Structure 1
Amino acid sequence: MRVALWGNASGKEAKLLFKIDSFILSYCCLMYFTNYLDRSNISNAFVSGMKEELHMYGTEYNKINTIFTCGYIVGMIPNNLMLQWVPPRIWLPLMQIVWGVLTFTTSAVHNVESIYAIRFFQGMAESSTFVGTHYVLGSWYKPDELGKRSGIFTSSGLIGTLFSGILQAAVYTHLNGVANRSGWRWLFIIDGIITMPIALYGFLVFPDLPATTNAFYLSDQERLLARTRIQGEIQVIHKPVTLGTFKRVLSKWRWYACSLLFAISGETECFGSNNIMGQWMKAIGGYTVEQIDYYPSGMTAFAVASTLVCATWTDSTRQRWPVLVYMAVACIFAAICILAWGSPTALKFAAFYIAGASYAGQATTFAWANQICADDDQERAIVLASMNMWNNVVNAWWSLIFYPATDAPKFQKGSIAMICASVATLGCTWLVWFLERREHRLRGSRAIEGVDHSPSSLHEEGPNLEDKEKL
């Protein structure tokens, strides 16, 4: 475990890594766990009685997801801008409290229109978490340390999804009808109760960024080491975002290619994010509510395993693209099995589980973008935010068109869309790989000629002599 997380780091650096892993990862993972727990409870509630009690019909379930995504898109840029003025240890837990309160509120709704309104504002609050955390991780960790941490962080969200299904089944069994409340209503109450103390934990322990941290558990020497150890790997100079910043970012390939990659590859997660397996089981019949809640958890379990194994492998090789090839091929296979309606039920179960490989690409794609943009802090922040933004712009209409609830149980359009998205992911992966290699070749040529115009050479500042002596 020590070698897997901290590699060859020893002494002071290993101690520092242990501390920041203990506090950064613990809070970020718990925060993302509740983020996905509160987000995925809608799909579990839908197949556990909410549909019938609120008289939902047609594509109203898909509209809930679309409205949530719209709120997510609207809130993303304001949330990222707020992190420039409000310390992350204040803003991120504050937003967690907001979505926790909204989760509580969902337990009292009496019509689907109320859920529309709640989910829009919940999307705005939850949009603070994903990109904000990847930016924080990319500010503390070197590229060969980042993949594992990104994988652990992403897995925590998947575990939230996994736990939501198990929790809903347990709640339905033991609390359905208690205090005249349906089981699905109790799910939202319990989710809210889980969320609040984790937000308080964030207020107390989250360390902000290396340049601004005042964490009580870091000594002055460790704060200095946190800043100096990443110099030469990651740009650590933070400057205000200006119009010139956007001109610089938009003049290069990174913003366009990375945004395109996640906008498309993120859609390979649709089998999981729309709970297609749960809707399929409910539509074909023959399964209990508990089974419909439990069985799709196998997809999430496979997603967690794929994410952690792939993230560890990419850190050791510094090659991110093979993971995207793996997940695209897995999703193509899964979609073909589901599209072939006459295939055995056991094969369809296996196909849904294998489709969980799609989540391995999430951590890898953002670790890759952090690695590509490591020499420009402002560009890194903008590229990470844009990747998630464009993916959610596509999400806003993708599920409505290709995965409407009315298509259950066959989801023929969705399976074809999955194959197309997976093939397109292979093309985008090759494009980013090619452009990154070309940039490295050009940078090497400039270095040989004695001229380096890279952002890191223009803006990076190393530790001064006094700082080196302190270390």
Structure 2
Amino acid sequence: MCDFDFDLDRSNVSNAYVSGMREELNMYGTQFNQINTIFTCGYIIGMIPNNLMLQVVPPRIWFPSMQIVWGVLTFCTSAVTNVQQIYAIRFFQGIAESSTFVGTHYILGSWYKPGELGKRSGIFTSSGLVGTLFSGVLQAAVYTNLNGVAGRSGWRWLFIIDGIITMPIALYGFLMFPDVPTTTKAFYLSEEERLLSCERLETEKDKDIEHGNLSWGLVRRVLGRWRWYGCSLLFAVSGETESFGSNNLMGQWLKAIGGFTVPQIDYYPSGMTAFAIVSTLVCATWTDATKSRARWPVLVYMSFCGIVAAICIIVWSSPIGLKFFAYYLAGATYAGQATTFAWANQICADDHQERAVVLASMNMWNNVVNAWWPLVFYPATDAPRFTKGMWAMIGTCIATLLVTWLVWYLERREKREKARREGDEAIETRSTRNKDADEKSIKSNAGLSRRSHESA
């Protein structure tokens, strides 16, 4: 399942807001931010339950079912008459949508080795960004060609088209999604290919943890290691660097300063998304290509770009062209998303149940922060300057660098301890073998001596 549809939906709400929804529904103050906060609350509630359901219900059934629920709710959005109805719809859409992002990263980690994950995670994340990119283009085209058709506003047609796009993708998921290697029934995989996909990723620990066999031991394993704490903190912090794009700050800025048409306000922010796609694919592919599979340089790169972009916008006297450059440069902050989840998959590769919880928790804690973050630092009433938000971006990027170092350090320490244990076990094994060989030699020599004595 690709993330295209869900990211298209998130972007559609932002694009609809600046394309007539605000005026038609008489929205005011921070109601736009409240829509996103309520959606985030539903997303948080559904996160871990949805990912654990993948241990019980085949993903090829669960993912498309949630997408159909989401699609029906999207159709409902096109008929709302007040902002309160959008609040209710977005809450339940958040629950349905929370099944897919971390769930797909979990599935990717079940099929690919650490050295293959970066590129695959990058392609998946980029599919969502393509949805964001397509939303601006689609909204501009819909506003130009369908606004007023059948008595419906252009922004309402946007949600109708989005819902129509959803259904064939859900059907494709029912037919084609492969589940995980140990349970796959995909018709396009032979039995030999299925067995190979299991063997190439099998670890000693995973042999004792069957898919779907949940127990309280999972809680002890998750809470007893650093992985859950470190990875959750990493994405809770680094995920907020995406605030420029997720809150459509550029679109709000263009609308607030005036002088731009509705199609231009929809089109121009697409440059940020385009740079986000390029950054994501290049960085994710690079991390797989490096011998050490190092993920941390990508987080350094995105933090640097976020700081530079925020500084350029804080200096309000800077020319408008520099502000365009800054908003486009901020697209680089999306590069850390694929890399961070690939890193977590790599860290937890020896325990698929822990991996499912860690991946879900990363996105959950990020959304816990995101539920109030835009209300405090990026309220719509702060357009066009978003001064608080720019300072928050600088602080978030610095915090990302610190937490990145912490996770890198803890991962290296764990690897050293594992290597030391394996070395001790190897020494003990050799010692046992030598002892057995010595005892066998002594017994053999004693036998020869006894036979010699009897012959004499």
TM-score (norm 2): 0.91
Shift of 1:99: 0.6
Which residue of the partner structure matches residue 406 of structure 2?
431
Does residue 121 in structure 1 map to residue 96 in structure 2? no
Q: Which amino acid aligns with 1:179?
A: A
> What aligned pairs does 1:28-427 form with structure 2 within 5 A after superposition?
28-29=1-2, 32-232=3-203, 235=206, 237-239=209-211, 240-317=213-290, 318-427=293-402
Q: Which amino acid aligns with 1:301?
A: A
Which residue of the partner structure matches residue 434 of structure 2?
none
Q: Which amino acid aligns with 1:238?
A: E
Residue by residue over 1:250-279, the C-alpha shift from the partner in whole angstroms, topping out at 9 and shown as x without a partner, is 111111110000000000000000000000
CA distance in 2, matches of 1:146, 1:235: 19
Match of 1:343, SS state, is coil
Shift of 1:376: 1.2
Match of 1:388, SS state, is helix
> Contact conserved, 1:334 with 1:352, CA < 8 A, in 2?
yes
CA distance in 1, matches of 2:46, 2:177: 22
Q: Which amino acid aligns with 2:278?
A: A
> Contact conserved, 2:52 with 2:357, CA < 8 A, in 1?
no
Match of 2:302, SS state, is helix
CA distance in 2, matches of 1:204, 1:328: 40
Shift of 1:241: 2.4
Shift of 1:207: 0.9
CA distance in 1, matches of 2:302, 2:148: 42
| Change beyond 3 A, Cα 1:269–1:188 | same
CA distance in 2, matches of 1:398, 1:244: 34
> Contact conserved, 1:234 with 1:374, CA < 8 A, in 2?
no
CA distance in 1, matches of 2:217, 2:177: 32
Q: Which amino acid aligns with 1:105?
A: C
Shift of 1:208: 0.7
Q: Which amino acid aligns with 2:238?
A: S
> Contact conserved, 1:307 with 1:363, CA < 8 A, in 2?
yes
Match of 1:217, SS state, is coil
> Contact conserved, 1:238 with 1:378, CA < 8 A, in 2?
no
CA distance in 2, matches of 1:389, 1:425: 17
> Contact conserved, 2:52 with 2:356, CA < 8 A, in 1?
no
Which residue of the partner structure matches residue 439 of structure 2?
none
Q: Which amino acid aligns with 1:92?
A: F
> Contact conserved, 1:234 with 1:377, CA < 8 A, in 2?
no
CA distance in 1, matches of 2:311, 2:269: 19
Q: Bigger CA drift: 225-234 or 156-165?
A: 225-234
Match of 2:245, SS state, is helix
> Contact conserved, 1:332 with 1:422, CA < 8 A, in 2?
yes
Q: Which has the larger radius of gyration?
A: 2
- The runs of 5 or more residues in structure 1 that have no matched partner are 1-27, 453-471
Q: Which amino acid aligns with 2:397?
A: S
Q: Which amino acid aligns with 2:241?
A: T
> Contact conserved, 1:331 with 1:354, CA < 8 A, in 2?
yes
Shift of 1:233: 9.7
> Contact conserved, 1:139 with 1:234, CA < 8 A, in 2?
no
| Change beyond 3 A, Cα 1:451–1:130 | farther
Shift of 1:244: 2.0
Shift of 1:234: 9.0
> Contact conserved, 1:238 with 1:377, CA < 8 A, in 2?
no
Q: Which amino acid aligns with 1:261?
A: L
Query: Percent identity of the aligned residues?
Result: 75
| Change beyond 3 A, Cα 1:241–1:294 | same
CA distance in 2, matches of 1:362, 1:158: 11
> Contact conserved, 1:142 with 1:234, CA < 8 A, in 2?
no
Match of 2:389, SS state, is helix
Shift of 1:78: 2.2
CA distance in 2, matches of 1:34, 1:83: 20
Shift of 1:451: 6.7
Match of 1:387, SS state, is helix
Q: Name segments (4+ residues, structure 1) moved above 6 Å.
A: none
CA distance in 1, matches of 2:426, 2:245: 48
Match of 2:280, SS state, is helix
Shift of 1:330: 0.3
> Contact conserved, 1:403 with 1:413, CA < 8 A, in 2?
yes
CA distance in 1, matches of 2:338, 2:205: 18
Match of 1:85, SS state, is coil
CA distance in 2, matches of 1:63, 1:234: 44
Match of 2:28, SS state, is coil
> Contact conserved, 2:51 with 2:357, CA < 8 A, in 1?
no
Q: Which amino acid aligns with 2:256?
A: A
Q: Which amino acid aligns with 2:160?
A: I
Q: Which amino acid aligns with 1:150?
A: S
Count of paired positions: 423
CA distance in 1, matches of 2:338, 2:316: 32
